[in-house]
Structure 1
Amino acid sequence: MEEEILEAFEKTGFSLDEEDEILKKCLTLCINYKLGPSDLASSFEVYFLNRGIDGTVVQNAHMEGFLLYLQNEQKNAMIKEEAHPHIYSSNDVDMILNNEQEDAKETIVGTPIKEQEKLYSETSDLELGENGTTSGKQSRVATNHITPFGQRTNKFTVQFTLNKLSDMDGDIKKQEAVDNEDDIIRRIQPSEACSFEVQGSQPEHSCRFMYDSVEDKFNALDNRIKRHAAAFIASGLHEEPGDPTVASQKSVFSVGMVCCDGDGHLNEKSILLQGSVEYSGGQQVRLDIQKLPKFSFFPGQVVGIEGHNPSGHCFIASKVTDSIPFLATPDVDLPPAKRQATDQELHPINSSNAPGKLSLLIASGPFTTTDNLLYEPLAELLAYSSRMQPQLLVLMGPFVDSEHPEIKIGTVDRSFNSIFHMEVVRKLQDHVNYMGSTARVVLVPSIRDAGHDFVFPQYLSMLKLIFFLLIQIMSLQNPGTFDANQVKVGCCTVDILKQLSGEEISRIPDRSSRDRLGRLATHLLSQRSFYPLFPPSEDVPLDLSLAPKALQISSIPDLLILPSDLAPFVKVLSIDESSNGVEQVKCICVNPGRLAKGVGGGTFVELNFDVSNDRTNASIIRI
């Protein structure tokens, strides 16, 4: 049969590059999809024309995309065949009793569609507040209402929009019309590729981790308090910090870290303030916050507090400042020569690098549903990207999710790196080859990646790609910062928003400003850290000695990407550039949600960034 397949390809004008390997794969496709040699060659000719592949040589790299094409054709054919209700007979009963249905599932690639179900899409009303943040009330739905990925009817549904454009609905309708076309796909190449530059420090590859001692952790936290105290002093609005543990009737200004007096959750009766070694010998004092009209605290937060300690046992707070000003203060951990070089790097003399325009798609893993490892949501995302032609595609882990049922119980017969390269890298390679030289893809790992060392912050390990892919497919550390078209982007795949949500206590008297998701995201910028929570969550392997500066946010990014299990959102955050709140800088924060949720599709974000926030528009799209 392999000779017949080879003869069929030669009749259609194709030649095989790696003949033996390609013929084996073609033979498998003929068996799985019940195709004859001539039918297989004809299907490849249609795929060849639709993708616009140059030349007449069939390469081994083409087979991965050809497999996806056959799967989609099979699904479309089944949808047309089973559009009418099925009438069960005695043969169906015998098949079920003899468990023939399970045997059929093992021999057919993909899950057959038995009936049509309407895609459940969550809708919400989007409001733009006075501070520029968007908020939506998402309807709550039981998990059994999730439509399995293979049974959804509508591919993409716009869930949220920021600065909605008038032609947004027209774009979606135009996109759905493209889905139904059978003719050759016409591509429009982007005007130009975006520039890309990785910023910030990262752990070294193959470094030793989880060897930090108690002393290392204490020194890291103490240095963090000293950096924030130096920023308060440099702002000129606060005096030299005093010792909050000393009994005094005089009001003093102190800088310290919020702690809990036990192992439980933080509350108003269990708050402690830990000062630095320089100002208070690293001692802790109980904090009384009854007189504060407004506050928002969590463990590990560094704050500036004014108050007095009449008894020496309790510091009574009268005013709190939880936002650290972003000023060009020297780093206390570095010698003078290194401080100067770092300041010139973070604040260059040439200030002509103004943020430009950038179009991007943002998605976060898992990238496959829990019932298989076919990575169907990722294929749908890449198909959407090939039509919308963004300048940058940002994919954030986990790519091979350690929480996936098949991986968790160990039923897969492939290595984690093999799954990653076969299911993710090859799809991306096929995507960038189709898109052309202007396509750019950024990969960010996650601590849930099964093939990565379990440590945070993460260095580049599993995401090291082969040489010729490095130009268009780039990998980043976690957390990471990069510049694209002079737009500064910061991202972190740890679900810090959900963890802060479980640890934060707050008192917000003004009901109009109760945007909890926006407040949680603002904590990261106010604390200058991608992970300000301490002690960390039980599932986060935080190593403070691995890369002391990897978690720091040196300046407010234009775009902050924080994937979370919480409701997806796109918000405009207003951050005070100085302590007096005169100068405010806006940052767009994005939570794209998860691309796959259970057996159904999830959400991703399409964003067109402009230097003016009024011209920036974004959409949260549900698959």
Structure 2
Amino acid sequence: MEEHLLNEFEEFGLNPNKKVLEKCAELLKKYGITPDTLVNHWIGYAATKLNDEAPSMENMISFEKDLSKELSAKAKIKTEPLSESPVMHNITTITQIAEDDELLVGYGTPARKSSVGAKRTSGLEGTPQNKRLAGLGQTYPVHSPSAFSPTTPGTCSKFSTRNNAGEVVVKYPADDTSINWTRSDEKWGPTIQLHGIAETKLTTKYNYMFNRLKDKFDILEEQINDLGDRMKEKLAIEEFEPNNKLKSETFHTIGRICCDATSGSRLNTSSLLLEGTRNTSSGQSVPLDVSQLKEFSFFPGQVVAVGGSNPTGKKMVVTSVTTPPINPVFKTDVSLEAPLNVIVACGPFTLSDDLEFAPLLELIQQINTMLPHLVIIMGPFLDMKNKKVENGDLDCTYHEHFDIVMKELQSKISNSVQVCIIPSWRDVHHRVVYPTPPFQQENKAANFHMFSDPCILNVNGVFIALTSTDILFQLSKEEISVAPHGSDRLGRLVSHLLSQQSFYPLNPASEEMSIDLEQAEDYCKLGFAPHLLFVPSDLRHFIKNVSGCVVVNTERAVKGVSGGTYSRLQITGHDSTVHIRAEIVRL
């Protein structure tokens, strides 16, 4: 039990002592919960109330009170009867709702209920809710980030006095020799192109989150059909059969994994449903009995083909699960005249309770020392979860604050370095929607490039896919799995992205996310395995080869009130062969 707990903590970069593990094991028995549930609750508790402190016996007392309170609240919700029966929709009612929806097309979207959305809405025009700024109208001089935010005692000094800066925490390959990170060819520079559909639609004004119910249904249906064609080839069958077909012999059907809403809980083996397609199963859902499977991995929104029988017509007894095959790495002509040096970092770039951007200035210093050919900087830059932002404690508008940061980057980073800027839905001054449009920056330096989140870049034939959204952490909270002890959980989470051919396969999305399905259909597809995939996450940093794709979780440049990590890579290649060497380094 304690070993299992330690493995769960280590995925978040935590290493609690034996006494803490014993206390956690005691909580598991007391409240009847699993290790991953306890650790996930700890991560949320530490982030919101402890400034991401490590678990200790002192803070375990307050943590147990919080845990008990939340579990009691959930138990109360489960025992309360529903005021009315849940409404079940079929194709006819969906069509009727879609027709009614057209009458509302001119009225805009309903207001978000979440507190995050409320906070964000109040700042959409870039004006923080701060009484000190009521008369704001004057212009602000351009100055360094360290000058426009008062120092918070203790936190900034903790970052400046860290003693592990520059430590290499991960190498790829693990037994690789030392790498010369200084640029070898001053004259040659890479060519950066956006792969796929141009971002024209995202950069123009459009009504995001304005999708009709019927359009959403059609998009989700098309996704199942597209992946279903690949699975037919894999299974060597001509057609799938209805999921509710009364049949005691083995047959194959297809659908999307979803959770039984009447269960009142997260996805588990008792609430597991397979939602069929309109053409094959008339859109009906069937419960799945997975007791005969030795191993499996499911999450809401996952498209799978299942094999088994349905002797009663009401529940399918599953004996096999087939996932879409991962498309091979894209073959292209690689034209690198010299080793391509790359630095990648993901925000936030401020400590959790100040806006001094000291970590960002440290990153700039590292960039100017190594002078890589390419730098990729992902948001959030002005993080909506920063305490000063939450409290509206700024002396200028959100947009003015962000402009100052961009001017600092463009003035301090060498012109010989190509810089790609990727936004985040957590950027408080930007659109809180996914896919997230690129930043619109006036007077942009020639060596700076603005792209959307997510995106795929073609750098001289090397395909680099990236997203600043923490899809791995969100998947880890929703996934249920049975796997052999010691299996690679992080690698499995990544394989979901490649198999589902999507940067964000989770459906319904996390409560804090706003997914525009129409735009996601065009801009969130991951139709092939790229050479490199960057998925920065709060989960523990790693570099892995998954189905021929080198996947990097750089973690974040800042973790709470302490420094985080960034990654540096050296890429060589010729014709269709690409070799990647990489390190994750403490900032």
Amino acid at match of 1:225: I
Whether 1:603 and 2:565 are equivalent positions in the alignment is yes
Q: Which deviates the most, 521-530 or 356-365?
A: 356-365
8 Å CA contact 2:326–2:498 kept in 1: the answer is no
Cα deviation for residue 217 of structure 1 reads: 2.3
Cα deviation for residue 250 of structure 1 reads: 2.6
Cα deviation for residue 552 of structure 1 reads: 1.1
Amino acid at match of 2:461: Q
Cα deviation for residue 529 of structure 1 reads: 0.6
SS in 2 for 1:386: helix
Give the corresponding residue for 1:617: 581
- Please say which structure displays the higher CA radius of gyration: 1
| Pairing partner for 1:455 from 420, 426, 433 | 433
Whether 1:477 and 2:452 are equivalent positions in the alignment is yes
* Partner Cα separation in structure 2 for residue 249 and residue 561 of structure 1: 45
Structure 1 residues 376-413: Cα deviation after superposition (integer angstroms, max 9, x where no partner): 11111111111112111111110111111111101101
Give the corresponding residue for 1:412: 394
Cα deviation for residue 200 of structure 1 reads: 2.4
Whether 1:593 and 2:555 are equivalent positions in the alignment is yes
Amino acid at match of 1:256: G
* Partner Cα separation in structure 2 for residue 488 and residue 614 of structure 1: 10
Structure 1 alignment gaps of length 5 or more = 1-61, 72-105, 114-143, 176-186, 328-345, 575-585
CA pair 316-396 structure 1, distance change in 2 beyond 3 A: same
* Partner Cα separation in structure 1 for residue 479 and residue 150 of structure 2: 47
Cα deviation for residue 211 of structure 1 reads: 1.6
Cα deviation for residue 238 of structure 1 reads: 3.2
Give the corresponding residue for 2:523: 550
The aligned length equals: 438
Cα deviation for residue 152 of structure 1 reads: 2.2
CA pair 246-63 structure 1, distance change in 2 beyond 3 A: closer
Counterparts in 2 of 1:68-217, with a 5 A limit?
148-164=158-174, 168=178, 190-201=186-197, 202=199, 203-204=201-202, 205-217=204-216
RMSD (CA atoms): 3.0
| Pairing partner for 1:526 from 493, 499, 503 | 499
Give the corresponding residue for 1:222: 221
Structure 2 alignment gaps of length 5 or more = 1-140
Give the corresponding residue for 2:324: 323
* Partner Cα separation in structure 2 for residue 165 and residue 320 of structure 1: 36
CA pair 215-591 structure 1, distance change in 2 beyond 3 A: same
Counterparts in 2 of 1:356-435, with a 5 A limit?
356=336, 358-423=340-405, 425-432=406-413, 435=414
Whether 1:502 and 2:480 are equivalent positions in the alignment is no
Cα deviation for residue 613 of structure 1 reads: 9.2
8 Å CA contact 2:334–2:577 kept in 1: the answer is no
Tell me the TM-score normalised to structure 1 length: 0.65
SS in 1 for 2:517: coil
Whether 1:465 and 2:441 are equivalent positions in the alignment is yes
* Partner Cα separation in structure 1 for residue 532 and residue 176 of structure 2: 24
Amino acid at match of 1:526: S
* Partner Cα separation in structure 2 for residue 397 and residue 601 of structure 1: 16
Cα deviation for residue 148 of structure 1 reads: 1.6
Counterparts in 2 of 1:235-254, with a 5 A limit?
235=234, 237-254=236-253
Counterparts in 2 of 1:270-285, with a 5 A limit?
270-285=271-286
* Partner Cα separation in structure 2 for residue 605 and residue 242 of structure 1: 47
8 Å CA contact 2:252–2:308 kept in 1: the answer is yes
Amino acid at match of 1:320: V
8 Å CA contact 1:197–1:484 kept in 2: the answer is yes
* Partner Cα separation in structure 2 for residue 550 and residue 451 of structure 1: 22
CA pair 314-108 structure 1, distance change in 2 beyond 3 A: closer
Whether 1:562 and 2:538 are equivalent positions in the alignment is no
Cα deviation for residue 109 of structure 1 reads: 7.6
Cα deviation for residue 374 of structure 1 reads: 2.0
8 Å CA contact 1:190–1:389 kept in 2: the answer is no
8 Å CA contact 1:244–1:254 kept in 2: the answer is yes
* Partner Cα separation in structure 2 for residue 486 and residue 385 of structure 1: 24
Between the two proteins, what is the percent identity of the paired residues?
A: 32
* Partner Cα separation in structure 1 for residue 167 and residue 380 of structure 2: 24
Cα deviation for residue 324 of structure 1 reads: 3.3
Give the corresponding residue for 1:287: 288
8 Å CA contact 1:147–1:600 kept in 2: the answer is no
CA pair 112-269 structure 1, distance change in 2 beyond 3 A: closer
CA pair 547-620 structure 1, distance change in 2 beyond 3 A: closer
Structure 1 residues 501-559: Cα deviation after superposition (integer angstroms, max 9, x where no partner): 111111113x35x1111111111001001111111110001121234221111211111
Cα deviation for residue 431 of structure 1 reads: 3.2
SS in 2 for 1:148: helix
8 Å CA contact 1:164–1:618 kept in 2: the answer is no
* Partner Cα separation in structure 1 for residue 185 and residue 577 of structure 2: 26
* Partner Cα separation in structure 2 for residue 320 and residue 108 of structure 1: 54
Cα deviation for residue 257 of structure 1 reads: 0.6
Cα deviation for residue 249 of structure 1 reads: 2.1
CA pair 570-306 structure 1, distance change in 2 beyond 3 A: same
SS in 1 for 2:321: strand
Cα deviation for residue 599 of structure 1 reads: 2.2
Cα deviation for residue 368 of structure 1 reads: 1.3
Cα deviation for residue 235 of structure 1 reads: 4.9
* Partner Cα separation in structure 2 for residue 360 and residue 165 of structure 1: 20
Give the corresponding residue for 1:86: none
Cα deviation for residue 209 of structure 1 reads: 1.2
SS in 2 for 1:420: helix
Cα deviation for residue 606 of structure 1 reads: 0.9
Cα deviation for residue 236 of structure 1 reads: 6.9
Cα deviation for residue 317 of structure 1 reads: 1.1
Tell me the TM-score normalised to structure 2 length: 0.69
SS in 2 for 1:403: coil
8 Å CA contact 2:152–2:354 kept in 1: the answer is no
Structure 1 residues 406-456: Cα deviation after superposition (integer angstroms, max 9, x where no partner): 111011011111111112x12221234xx23x3111111111001111111
Cα deviation for residue 614 of structure 1 reads: 9.5
Counterparts in 2 of 1:17-56, with a 5 A limit?
none
Amino acid at match of 1:241: F
Amino acid at match of 1:466: E
Give the corresponding residue for 2:3: none
